Amino acid sequence: MPEKIPQHTHCPICGKAIPVSESFCSDECKQKYQQMLKKRKMLVYVMYATIIFIIVVFTLSYYIG
């Protein structure tokens, strides 16, 4: 007969099984997650800035050219 597995979830960084009430298995994984979010947010800002830059360049080239 298979054993019952206690309720658990997995750490989003390393995948270790952790209690349902926890979000991360360690402070190290929590810091890595926060750094990942910070990098992702910066990437979104860079993408928006690039899109705005392209729109401005096309708009100016339309009026100048």
Confidence band (pLDDT; 50, 70, 90) for 63?
Answer: confident
Total domains present in the chain: 1
7, 20 contact by CB (below 8 A): yes
Whole-number Å distance between alpha carbons of 40 and 33: 10
Question: Where does the pLDDT of residue 4 fall: very low under 50, low under 70, confident under 90, or very high at 90 and above?
Answer: confident
Is residue 57 a part of any domain in this protein?
A: yes
Whether 5 is covered by a domain: the verdict is no
Q: Which pLDDT score is estimated for 54?
A: 98
**The domain containing residue 53 runs over which residues?**
26-65
Residue 46 lies in a domain: yes
Q: Does residue 19 belong to any structural domain of this protein?
A: no
- The pLDDT confidence band at residue 5, using thresholds 50, 70 and 90, is confident
Q: Over the stretch 11-61, which tens digit does the pLDDT of each residue have?
A: 999 999 999 999 999 999 999 999 999 999 999 999 999 999 999 999 999
Within a domain: 20: no
In a domain, 35, yes or no: yes
- Model's pTM, two decimal places? 0.74
